Amino acid sequence: MLDVLIIGAGPHALTLASLLKHPNFSNSANDAHILDGIFLSKTRMKNGKSRTKGKNEVTKIIVDTPESPPLSVKVVDPYGEWVTLWQKQFNALRIPHLRSHTLVHTDPFNKKALQEFAVKHERTEELHSLPEHIYIQDENAFFNDSRLGKKEKKKLSASGALKKSLYFSLPSSGLVMDFFQQQIHRYHLESILMKGTVERIIPILAVHNDQMQSKNEQKSVQHFNIVLQNGDVIAARQVVLATGPTRIQMANIPSWVKSIHESYPEERLQHTVQLIHYQDGKQGMKSSVCNSGERVLVVGGGLTSAHIILFAFQQGARNVHWVLRKHLQLKQFDVGDIETLVGRYSHVEHGIKLDGLAYLRQFYNERSLHKRLAMIRQARKGGAVTPEAYKQMQEFIISGDLMIKTYSQVSEAKWSYKDQEWKIFLSTGERLTIDRIWLATGCKLDVSQDPLLTDITEEFPIQVLDGWPCLSENLQWAPGCNCYLMGQYAALQIGPHAVNLAGGQAASARIAKAIFNKYRDLDDCQPFEKAETEEYLQQMHGLMWL
């Protein structure tokens, strides 16, 4: 029986697996930099010496006294390879670089690992500097950056120090994929990965020896039986769900799509999740979003929309109509703006002066999960496009080939079999004739609808806020049920950055600590020690929200 089974082999799972397989990882003569990664609060002064702030500032991700025992860990993934779905996404949408900077990655032991990898392999040219100036021509565009005064709301400028810093450069997708492979090899994670699609997670309850179990006694899971699509069953004492709401069946489909009565060719109306899952670069197949000369409709206001639009023009689209429910929002990162992220500046929100750390401190000190959910939504503020992507689209906006329909929604779509085209009716009263529709509307977060958690929910029902599960602080599903969740499902505990790479590091630290605490106690009853807010802040030192 396995100690831990991780479901999913994405970046979050890669971070957690590295921690679980190397609980007592220590620095050596060849890895003198590792200490900086483990002691997240350690900083460098100008003279090169280390300094720490406050007596409780130095906090290890995993407390290694006493030493943690080795665990039997396996990872199961439909593709049978690490970070394949991520690679498919980048290939399918032709994403040139990440939205996160070089301090944010998957190696939990060294926060400088990605930067050092780029320097060692002489690939620093693949680090994309933040733009110094981006001018906004679209009157409907809203730039979400509080650094700008009223007279400069149409300009983004990054300071010279930020622009030239390797720390705050954005790595290319190719560089990051190679970095992943280097980490997999370095920490010997190839052998723990197995190919398989999980269909059910069945909790097997512990049988108590008492003749009569007390009504107040808490039931607990002895182990889980994880049923694969091929019929195989894997037994594991603990399960970590590291998949997130990215599966095809969880795609967010607008109501007007479900109201289409006519039969239409499947390829003429698709969700971007389908493009990501079906794209297969290994067999030489090239993903396609349209044929040359077609009229395309793109629905959604996030960065994926921009990638689809640019891809469509590359493939010869005649024109593109871009429908957004609200304004076109431009934002460098999907959580917070630059100064909040870096923590060098502060801003006022609802009368409270905040920087990045102050915001997180407020979030972790907030006991009301309803208020935390409101804070998450305020921080993310919906889909946004980067200034770089917007700049690439400007030529098509100016030429009239890209028409942006802000504050608009599709109210009805009809497929004409005779003309082989779509008749689109917008909420503004406008009518469009379209050849192909792409839905870039993301995936819906509703843990109660996740089929993998059906059996667990029946035995251990928990509170769910508008689809968001109310997990314990260590990201455990419920007391007595050793199932842990990562990614966006963990947002009410981790924060608005839970789905991002930095959120993966924070979630991995909590889960690994909880698992090792259980195995250090022979009776397996040691409770999870409640961490202080400052410990959670230290986990984010140098990373912030990206």
pLDDT, one tens digit per residue, over 211-256 is 445 555 678 999 999 999 999 999 999 999 998 655 666 788 999 9
pTM: 0.80
pLDDT tens digits, 29-58: 333 333 233 333 333 333 444 443 343 333
Residues 6+ apart with CB under 8 A from 381: 144, 329, 331
For the chain, the straight-line distance linking the first and the last C-alpha, in angstroms and rounded, comes to: 37
Judge whether residue 471 has pLDDT over 50.
Answer: yes
Judge whether residue 458 has pLDDT over 80.
Answer: yes
Residues 202 and 312 in one domain: no
Domain membership flag for residue 9: yes
Residues 117 and 66 in one domain: yes
Q: What is the mean pLDDT of residues 332-360?
A: 53
One DSSP character per residue, 412-455 reads: EEEEETTTTEEEEEETTS-EEEESEEEE---B---GGG-GGGHH
pLDDT tens digits, 476-512: 999 999 999 999 899 999 988 888 888 899 999 999 9
Residues 280 and 325 in one domain: yes
Domain membership flag for residue 28: no
Q: Which domain holds residue 513?
A: 1-22+61-130+171-206+219-245+445-546
pLDDT of residue 419: 94
Token pair, residue 106, equals 């998957």
| Structural domain total, the chain | 2
Beta carbons within 10 angstroms of residue 192's beta carbon: 21
- 419, 439, 459: which is the final residue of a domain? 439
What does each C-alpha distance from 316 to 320, 401, 513 come to in angstroms? 11, 11, 52
pLDDT of residue 499: 87
- Find, among 178, 15, 168, 190, the residue nearest to 90 by Cα: 178
Token pair, residue 525, equals 């009853």
- 422, 439, 456: which is the final residue of a domain? 439
One DSSP character per residue, 123-175 reads: -GGGEEPPPS-EE---TTEEE--TTS-GGGTTEE---HHHHH-STTPEEBHHH
* Beta carbons of 361 and 536 less than 8 angstroms apart: no
pLDDT of residue 426: 96
Residues 316 and 423 in one domain: yes
Q: What's at 166, amino acid-wise?
A: L
Residues 263 and 394 in one domain: yes
Whole-number Å distance between alpha carbons of 214 and 229:
38
Assign residue 519 the CATH number of its domain: 3.50.50.60
Lowest mean pLDDT among 115-119, 126-130, 377-381, 403-407: 377-381
